[in-house]
Structures are given as C-alpha cells and as structure tokens.
Structure 1
Amino acid sequence: MIDQRRAFNRRQFLQGMAQFAAVAAAAPALGSDPWRGVTCTTLTAGEPGDVSMSSERLEDVFARIQRRVNDGLFPGATALVARHGVIVGHRAFGNKVAGADDPVTVDTIFDLQSMTKVLSTAASALALVQEGVIRLNDPVARHLPEFAANGKGAVTVHDMLRYSSGLPMDNQFLDMTDDEAVWHLMAETPLEYPTGTSVLYSDLTYRLLGRMIEAAAGEDLDTVADGRIWGPLGMNDTMYNPPPALVERIAATGYSSIRGRVVRGEVQDEQDFALGGVTGCDGVFSTARDIAVFCQMIMNGGAYGRAEVLRPDLVRHMKKNSTPQVTAAATDTSPINNLLFTPKGLGWELWTKRFSHGGMRLSPRAYGKAGGAGTFMWVDPDLEIIGVLLTNHGLPQPFDELGWDRMLDNIGCAEFFDGIINAVHD
C-alpha cells in the first residue's frame, strides 16, 4: 500500500515540476539558496558521553518508565533521546496490547492522535505556502468557500495554524453517516470568540484546516504530507490508516464501545475514525525514530541530510510564539489550561514553566506536542536535545480535566523530560 502511494507517475512528475516552479518564483526574496548556511545534521547512534550526557542518569530515566509499566499504569512505550544529532538512548517497554505477551520493540508504531497537527497538518500547510499554493494571510474561505458561513469569511490560514481562529474545541456529529454533510456542518460552525483575540486549542480548527489543505492542493492530506514531508525525510513508518500487514507492529490503545473492540491500527478518536481516519487533527501513526527525524529537521532549520523540506524562514515562524495576545502568566494555571490557552506556535505547543507536560527544566525556547492517547515530543533548541515518549495509554476516559491530569501523572511525561535535562553535564 505504501509503495503504491509513493509510486512515480506522469501526473506526480508534472505536479512536482509545478511545485519547483512555485518555489523558484518565491526564491528571489530569500536569495538564490534559502537553505544556505543551514546545518543538515542527520541522526546517528552514539553514547551519552559523546554529547556530554550522563549514562547513569539516562538509565534512571528509562528505569522510571519501566516501573510505571510494571505498575500497570499503561501497557507499553518507546522512548528516544538525542542530542547534537546523536541518539543516546532508544528503548522499548512493556506490551503492545494490555494483558498480552506481545512485547513493544523500538520500531513499534503508535497512534499519535494530536501530534498529527504538527507532523502532518502544520507542516503540510507550510509546504503549500512554500510552493505558492496558499498564503498564510489567505482567508480560509478562499479555498473552502463553505467556511465563510456565520461571519467567518475573514478567518485566515494563520489564525487556524496558531489556534486563534475563534472556533470551539470541537463539534462532533457521530450520529451522521454522510461524511460530506458532516464536513459541511463543521465548516458552518459559528465562532466562540473574536478571531485573533485569544487562544483555544481546537480539534475542529485543525480538522477543518486539513480539509482546506486538501481543497487547495487537490490531493488528500495523506498524499500532501507524505509527498512533501515524510517521504523526502525517509519517514517510511509514518502514515495514516496503516495497512493490515502492519497491525502486528502497532500498539493498541483503548477499547471503543462504539466499535465494540480494542482499537489497534485505527485512530482512536471516534469522529476522525468515522470520517475515514485521515484528518488534520488526528490519525497519524509513527515510530519514535521517525518522529525524531522530523524534530531534527525542524531543529536544523528545515533540512535533513540531502532533503530540503521547509524553508528556514517558515520553520522559524512555525516554532516561534505567534500568539502575543495571550501570556503564560495569565494562562499557565493548570495542566489542562496549559494545553488549551497558553501561547502557541504554528501547530507547536510552547514550553511554559508551570504546568507544561514537558516538565520544568526545558529551555524557554523549547517547543513540543502531546497526543491525547499518551504520546509526547519536545525539542530544546538551546541544548540541542530531542525527547520522544510514545505510550499506548489510550485516550483518557472521560476526556476531561481530571482524565487529562490522571493520564499525565500515570505516564510521568514531565518526569521523563526533566530527567533528560538532568542528564546533561554542561
């Protein structure tokens, strides 16, 4: 299935030539080579001491994950730590299915849920900006006309990317079977607050952003992300809707009362599953290694090895604070408020010192993303550290403030990232 998706044909060749022309047309503003001076570090295996980290302290980090698995707080996990482009720890823990003897391995594939917003949607949107297909200040309705309903005609792509569109957190229609009707109703959803005046983390915003990307590109989101981001980076284990042949490599999440089974190889979110599994807010599956490659590309400034994926200026915009209308002092008041209301980049969550799921020791410029089924990635550009922790905890039940707090405590994600920083000697 993956090979067929990436097969070369005449249509893709012509599309590629058009993309090349669009990038070339934009290049003069940046000089003849926008990647000149970009460090194209690629990940290699090494020892903690090679990058001034303590192997003893890293072993303590991994032992704490194992203890949580042994205590039954979640079935299994993989963890990866890299610094200066060197992978200094990559471990697997527990089982892929709760109660089964099916050990997690370092190449186990996990349901990433909202990490999709960065790995697929935000990155794809910026790739289309790079090609000249869309602009950040484009009204969303220019590409998705039905979105203009209920006074939303001025909401821009940039507003959506930075979680400031004004849309509510979600608007689900699980009792409907007509996907087109569901998309239309979602697009018509009224705003909850004036666009750009606040921040509200929103699955609906990113679900519709993914829909807009498909309309603008004339391709499904899976094809856009794979052709422009994952494929060039060699992220061959990153995908939507994994084929049945890969199920044995995939960690199961939770039980679905709607589907009547434990979810394995299907996105756990019910609305996104009902819409076919390919959406802008959830649905991507991947491994710790693939995610680390993506993070290294971002830390490099948009390139990885020979792959020049995103222009440096777009990467800088992606990871900076794009929401000056809010402050951490006023919004970082609890773990759930940290997710919902604190300053954001384009797709990325930004580190704050009180209730970040990245712990308390990351550098102020750190950026990361959580997935609701228990997956986390953080990049500390000052220390040049990447941390990835993927678990199959599953979506909190119910998904409310108490459930979110309990999941974070069970997984110990803050303890994990604090431990990584604590292992740095310099």
Structure 2
Amino acid sequence: MRGLGGIATLTAVAPAVLGSASAGARTSAVLATGSPEMVGMSSVRIDDVFARVQRRVNDGLFPGATALVARRGVIVGHRAFGNKVAGCSEPVTLDTMFDVLSITKVLATATAILVLVEQGKLQLSDRVASYLPRFAANGKSGVTVLDMLRYSAGLPMDHQLLDEPDDEAAWQAMAETPLEVAPGSSVLYSDLTYRLLGRLVEVASGTDLSSFARAHIWGPLGMHDTMFNPPAELAPRIAATGTSARRGRLVRGEVQDEQDFALGGITGCDGVFTTAMDIAIFCQMIMGSGSYGGARVLTPESVRAMTRSQTSQVTAAATDTSPLNNLLLAPKGLGWEIWTPRFSNGGTRLSPGSFGKAGGTGTFVWIDPARELFGILLTNHGLPEPFDEIGWNRLLDSTGVAEFFDGVIAAVADER
C-alpha cells in the first residue's frame, strides 16, 4: 500500500525507525484562544514569562520578538515585543515574519522527505547517491536517506563555498565533500547534510523544495505566511536580522546565512520565513499525529518517527556536555532535536520525550507532548558572529530561551 492513506512503504523499509503508533490523530481541531486557566495554567506566570522577554528587549539584547504558548489546543498567550529593525520605531506585531533559519529543517525538509516516503517516491533506506550521483564521491555511496535525516551521515557541520564560479559548482563541491566520521557512528548536526536533503527532495519530487512544501505541507495546513524568499511587498512585515558586510546592506526579507543566500534562498537547511501563528499550526499538526483542521499531512507513524530519538548510537550522558555540544552531538529525531536535561536550549523542565528546534537567528520551538504543550519564541537577534561556542552561548543567554521555556513549564498549575 502506498500514498498518504497508508504507511506500508515506511514500515517495510524501516520498522525499527517507526515503531508502533497510536491509531489515528488525537485531534484535527483548529487552535482556539483562551485563558491559561482553561487548560490548567496560571495567567500570572504566563505574564511573568512575557515580562521577561520584554525586559530583554528593553535591555537591548535583541530588537524584537514574538512569543506564543499553547496547551491542549488552546493558545493561552501570544505577544509581540520591540521593533522589527534595530534602532527604528517599527513595532513588531503578532503577524511579523521572522527568518527562522534552521527551523526550516522541520517546517520543510524533514517533513517533505516523509511525505515523499508516504507517496512511495523514496524510501528511508535508499542511498542518497541514487538521487544525487556525485554524492557517491569520497566513499559516501552507502549513506542513506535515514542517515541524513537523523544527522548521522558523517558530513561536516557546514561547507561554505562562496567563491565557486556558479551555483552548480557549489552544489557539486558540497555533494563531493568527504565524510568526517563513519555514517551511523555518531551524531553531527550539519547544515550541509540538510542542504543536500533539500536537493534530494527536488529530484525525488520533480519540483523545487518551496513548491513542494507549499503544496503538501503549508498549503493544506493554512500556513499562508510561511515561505521562502518573501516578495518585496512583504518587507514591512519582516523582522530584520542585522547588516551583512558581504551584501553591504541590512538583511530584511533575505535569509541571513550567506551560503544559502548565495544559492538563491531556497535550501533544505535554511531560508523559511514565517510567523509564530503559522509555527503554532505546524506544532498542533504534530500534536495531532499529523492532522490539523481536517487536513492530514503525515500519518501518525511518520510523526512518531520524526519526534523520538533515532540515534541510539549516542547517549545524552556522553554528549550533553555544553550548549553547543547539545546542539551538535546529542540525540536527534528526524529533523528535530530531542530534549536532554542539562544543556538543552529548551531549558531544564520539559518532560522526557520533548522535542524542538532552534534557528541560528534566535528562533526556537519546543513541544512537550506529555503536557500537551508547546512554546514558540522568535527573535531577530541574528546569527552570532563567529558561530562558535562563545557566540552560541551568547545568543542563548541574550534571548533567554531556557528561561522562557522553564517559565512556560512553571506556568503549568495542574501538576502542583
């Protein structure tokens, strides 16, 4: 059986990946708005969470933000803070769009891969070189789609190729990049890996990643403010992420990462612009086992595969040793980061089994399925330069992301 109605293709390929799943979605209802008390949370504590975001904006740690908290299908808080452009009076509004960088990996690429698997157009056990022949170079012929999705292909974190003569030369050089470690032996978070996965989506689907995501993910869910390369007329709605020395201008409505911008702004690792509300719809789809508002994007089995650890070769004890190591080396799902209790950017209070995704511009989403809760914090802090351990720590400290999610969990009143 193939197509969106069944998962036989997936289960035949990788039963250990999928495991068992509940039959059907928990709910396909659309998100509602209500008070925290309606869903066992505290209004006072939610207000405290938002007040702390506002304090960081007031202190000049980043220009602006939106934040959203929802539980049991009810949005209990959705606020806007600060300005879209540093030093300018352009207030962020609830519909402000942000460059979410690596959240692209789940909003577009990993989800698109699983949709294609459900459609029977590829399998998780397929070799990447079957779709991207040049990828076979330098001993990579055995790397599978699953290896790539779970950040275990062995490719380096990134490969900036800004001096190549054209895009095709850059793509060829990326495809031919040698491995750093043996496939499947460890976890190494990699933008390069997901750039190449975006290309694989295009080959397998016969269309570009943006069109595929719009047709099979964002459109059915009603995520109309989610897109690559926003048109110029939307610029007033977009939060700027800083100034690019290479481009010589303010980066607003263009992906901040220089490699992704050089490649045209549509890649598998970065490039999506979206709002907190659209991400909330996506989160509720995941909470609903692949369905939202009557539209089914994924089967429950695919959602389960995405959101649980697929990297048994590593342990949190060995890899959750610093905030950067948590991002790069700790357990992963398919696209998602898996929560660990020590240095996760989701704080220390999420439930075991929680999962989320960080974007390097200062954008974060975490889902706590045990509490039926998720939180979203989108800032226009911008990429740390350089992107190293100190830079990542400073971004996390400036945005206060761990404080934000710890505060959200502290607002859950029905556990006391």
The TM-score bracket by the shorter chain reads over 0.9
1:197 aligns with 2:190: no
Q: Deviations over 1:2-33 (max 9, x none)?
A: xxxxxxxxxxxxxxxxxx97445756999xxx
Distance 1:35 1:27 in 2: 14
Q: Deviations over 1:193-249 (max 9, x none)?
A: 000000000000000010111111110000111111000000000000000010000
Counting only pairs closer than 5 Å after superposition, residues 1-20 of structure 1 correspond to structure 2 as: none
Distance 2:264 2:10 in 1: 40
Distance 2:363 2:387 in 1: 15
Distance 1:122 1:363 in 2: 23
Aligned 8 A contact 1:377 1:388 in 2: yes
CA positional deviation for 1:143: 1.1
Q: Equivalent residue for 2:14?
A: none
Counting only pairs closer than 5 Å after superposition, residues 176-187 of structure 1 correspond to structure 2 as: 176-187=164-175
Distance 1:149 1:212 in 2: 16
Q: Deviations over 1:286-320 (max 9, x none)?
A: 00000011011011100001101101111100001
Q: Equivalent residue for 1:243?
A: 231
Distance 2:169 2:10 in 1: 42
Q: Equivalent residue for 1:16?
A: none
Q: Equivalent residue for 1:80?
A: 68
1:150 aligns with 2:138: yes
Which deviates more from structure 2 when the two are superposed, residues 186-195 or residues 168-177?
168-177
Counting only pairs closer than 5 Å after superposition, residues 330-369 of structure 1 correspond to structure 2 as: 330-369=318-357
AA aligned to 1:41 is: A
Q: Equivalent residue for 1:44?
A: 32
AA aligned to 1:402 is: I
AA aligned to 1:383 is: R
TM-score by length of 2: 0.95
Aligned 8 A contact 1:78 1:93 in 2: yes
CA RMSD in angstroms comes to: 1.5
1:167 aligns with 2:160: no
Q: Equivalent residue for 1:221?
A: 209
Q: Equivalent residue for 1:303?
A: 291
Distance 1:154 1:404 in 2: 33
Q: Equivalent residue for 1:312?
A: 300
Q: Deviations over 1:366-423 (max 9, x none)?
A: 0000000000000000001110000000000111110000010000000000000000
* Distance of aligned partners of 1:195 and 1:52 in 2 relative to their CA distance in 1, 3 Å threshold: same
* Distance of aligned partners of 1:183 and 1:59 in 2 relative to their CA distance in 1, 3 Å threshold: same
Q: Deviations over 1:32-72 (max 9, x none)?
A: xx964542132111001100110001101000000000000
Distance 1:25 1:285 in 2: 31
Q: Equivalent residue for 1:6?
A: none
AA aligned to 2:262 is: A
Q: Equivalent residue for 2:367?
A: 379
SS in 2 for 1:364: coil
Distance 1:25 1:120 in 2: 21
Aligned 8 A contact 1:78 1:90 in 2: yes
Aligned 8 A contact 1:26 1:132 in 2: no
Distance 2:309 2:122 in 1: 21
1:284 aligns with 2:244: no
Distance 2:215 2:26 in 1: 22
Unaligned runs of 5+ in 2: 12-21
Q: Equivalent residue for 1:14?
A: none
* Distance of aligned partners of 1:394 and 1:28 in 2 relative to their CA distance in 1, 3 Å threshold: closer
CA positional deviation for 1:176: 1.9
1:329 aligns with 2:347: no
SS in 1 for 2:68: strand
Sequence identity percentage: 67
1:388 aligns with 2:371: no
CA positional deviation for 1:327: 0.2
Unaligned runs of 5+ in 1: 1-19
* Distance of aligned partners of 1:320 and 1:28 in 2 relative to their CA distance in 1, 3 Å threshold: closer
Q: Equivalent residue for 1:411?
A: 399
SS in 1 for 2:325: helix
TM-score by length of 1: 0.93
